[in-house]
Amino acid sequence: MVSRVIPVDPFDLVIFGGTGDLARRKILPGLFRRYCSGQIPPQSQIIGAARGEHSADEFREMVAQAVREFGGGRACEDGTLDEFLTRIDYVTVDARGDTGWSELAGKVRKELVNAFYFSVGPGLFGDLAERLHRFDMADDESRIVVEKPFGRDLATAKALNASLAKHFDETQIYRIDHYLGKETVQNLMAVRFGNMLFEPLWNSQYIDHIQITVAETVGVGGRGGYYDKSGAMRDMVQNHLMQLLCLIAMEPPAKFDPDAVRDEKLKVIRALEPVLPHQIVRGQYGAGPDQPDYRTHVEDPSSKTESFVALKVAISNWRWAGTPFYLRTGKRLKARTSEITVVFKDAPHSIFGAEAGRHRNELRIRLQPNEGMTLDVTIKEPGPGGMRLVDVPLDMSFAEALGPEAADIPDAYERLIMDVIRGNQTLFMRGDEVEAAWAWTDPIIEGWQARGEVPKPYDSGSEGPTDAVAMIARDGRVWREIKL
């Protein structure tokens, strides 16, 4: 039942930062899995590039270790790793110097699809773009892939966009938000626009509110220094949660075409109302068993950065006026789960009387773990006890519904890299989308800074600060429990 693997055209992919954490954990194992599936033609080539002095053989050994360590080997035949490694090369290159560039240029075959993955800090994006042109490696057909964070505010995002636009057209730039590569996220579009069932009800007349939760159990771990300059609003809300919000709220695009989809997402971001101080709660996790608190983790006893944020968002358009969206994300919460809950309104009149209680339809879309969907439907409680109503879930786990192959769905990075090679930008953020998202986020963060606001403490392993519960309770609603 899982869709057929269609091979992409042969390509040369250069991974700048090929020895880094992201390349080792995600990009290289992901490419290996696509190779195993037969999607990557054997004449393709993957070239790691970084400042480190490594021979091609040393880099191949690094790739082999990464594949073994990060689960690239599922469903792969013996010997395929050795075959894959013959497609790997390495060049020592400094993004800020001229070392290695001519050698790299000599290895990239222009007759194939060329893609350049910038898996390095954003401070190097402009340097890489400039040198790709200066060393005559890029042409109108080349693609560049850039990683998050794409700026830390509107000004830096604009500067990054401008530095790339000097050398590449927008149609060549692939800004990764790996959330968009998740199977369930794409399924949001299939469910909404492929079925007659939901779309007629998908508006403020029938939907009471929508909740989006992305909860993690881990703390900031070894990323404390980076995270403390960013916080949950920049690290999660401005990009991942915003993308989910767009897909759930956008109007139907005329066709499933990159710019048609991204135009509709942009309209959602532009229709977002400013968030007022009482509509947002920030939190910072406390110590847990054998775990330090946030401030110890980031080594700043007076840090005011949030590891949790919950907010109420309003979209000012005909479809959504009056239906709030509640967004929440945080670290060191009770369970690792990402889900969207669409809570429908009560039936206009209950023929069963007040004693039947209040029953609502809820559609829950689980992004992780166990990707799938559940629709709560109200039915009669079985048995002779009269007309008592009960809500039962119609549950569809993709792994159960689609068979064992569904458990082997490509990781988000695999899918997105294959989309780059195919030249399909639908699941990548456009420059104006990113800027619009920052334009909405900036005043919220500036407001906290101006007011000197300190995040509320919350217990490690809890559902976040009690103020977040109070925020939604003021509207007569409750958060869905954070659970697996």
Which of the residues are catalytic? Answer: 240
DSSP 462: B
* Residue closer to ligand NAP (CB basis): 126 or 286: 126
Min dist. Cβ of residue 469 to ligand NAP (A): 30
* Residue closer to ligand NAP (CB basis): 54 or 359: 54
Q: According to the binding rule CB under 6 A, does residue 17 interact with ligand NAP?
A: yes
Q: According to the binding rule CB under 6 A, does residue 388 interact with ligand NAP?
A: no
- ∠ at Cα 58 (52, 61), nearest 5°? 125
Q: According to the binding rule CB under 6 A, does residue 96 interact with ligand NAP?
A: yes
Q: According to the binding rule CB under 6 A, does residue 164 interact with ligand NAP?
A: no
Q: Is 79 left (phi over 0), alpha (psi -120 to 50) or beta?
A: left
For residues 109-138, which are near ligand NAP according to CB under 6 A? 119-122, 124
- Cis status, amide bond into 404, omega within 30 of 0: no
Q: Judged by CB under 6 A, which stretch of 90-98, 335-343, 387-395, 400-408 contacts ligand NAP?
A: 90-98
Q: According to the binding rule CB under 6 A, does residue 98 interact with ligand NAP?
A: no
Both structure tokens of 370: 């166990």
For residues 26-65, which are near ligand NAP according to CB under 6 A? 50-52
Q: Could you say which of 16, 32, 116, 294 contacts ligand NAP (CB under 6 A)?
A: 16
Q: Are 367 and 247 in contact (CB under 8 A)?
A: no
* Residue closer to ligand NAP (CB basis): 131 or 334: 131
* Residue closer to ligand NAP (CB basis): 240 or 297: 240
Question: What stretches of 205-324 adopt beta strand conformation (E)?
Answer: 207-215, 280-285, 308-313
* Residue closer to ligand NAP (CB basis): 23 or 247: 23
Min dist. Cβ of residue 97 to ligand NAP (A): 8
Q: Judged by CB under 6 A, which stretch of 10-18, 108-116, 307-315, 369-377 contacts ligand NAP?
A: 10-18
Q: Could you say which of 56, 94, 193, 198 contacts ligand NAP (CB under 6 A)?
A: 94
* Residue closer to ligand NAP (CB basis): 16 or 35: 16
Q: Could you say which of 14, 19, 179, 269 contacts ligand NAP (CB under 6 A)?
A: 19
Query: What distance, in Å, lies between the first and last C-alpha atoms of the chain?
Result: 26
Q: According to the binding rule CB under 6 A, does residue 21 interact with ligand NAP?
A: yes
Q: According to the binding rule CB under 6 A, does residue 238 interact with ligand NAP?
A: no
Query: How would DSSP label each residue in 19-33?
Result: TSHHIIIIIHHHHHH
Q: Select from 230, 205, 35 the least CA-distant residue to 122.
A: 230
By Cβ distance, which residue is nearest to ligand NAP? 20
- HSE value, Cβ hemisphere, 13 Å, CA-based, for 449: 8
Q: Judged by CB under 6 A, which stretch of 77-85, 144-152, 369-377, 385-393 contacts ligand NAP?
A: 144-152
The alpha carbon dihedral of 120, 123, 129, 132 has a sign of negative
Name the residue type at position 473. A
Name the residue type at position 179. Y
Q: According to the binding rule CB under 6 A, does residue 183 interact with ligand NAP?
A: no
Name the residue type at position 181. G
Q: According to the binding rule CB under 6 A, does residue 220 interact with ligand NAP?
A: no
- Report long-range pairs for 179-182 (Cβ below 8 Å, ≥24 apart): 179/239, 179/240, 179/243, 179/244, 179/367, 179/412, 180/243, 180/412, 180/416, 180/427, 180/428, 180/429, 181/411, 181/412, 181/413, 181/414, 181/415, 181/416, 181/419, 181/427, 182/367, 182/368, 182/371, 182/412
Contacts of 389 (CB under 8 A, 6+ apart): 352, 356, 357, 359, 378, 379, 380, 381
> How long a stretch of residues is the chain?
484
Q: Judged by CB under 6 A, which stretch of 68-76, 91-99, 282-290, 424-432 contacts ligand NAP?
A: 91-99
Q: Could you say which of 8, 11, 13, 20 contacts ligand NAP (CB under 6 A)?
A: 20
Residues that bind ligand NAP (CB under 6 A): 16-23, 50-52, 93-96, 119-122, 124, 147-149
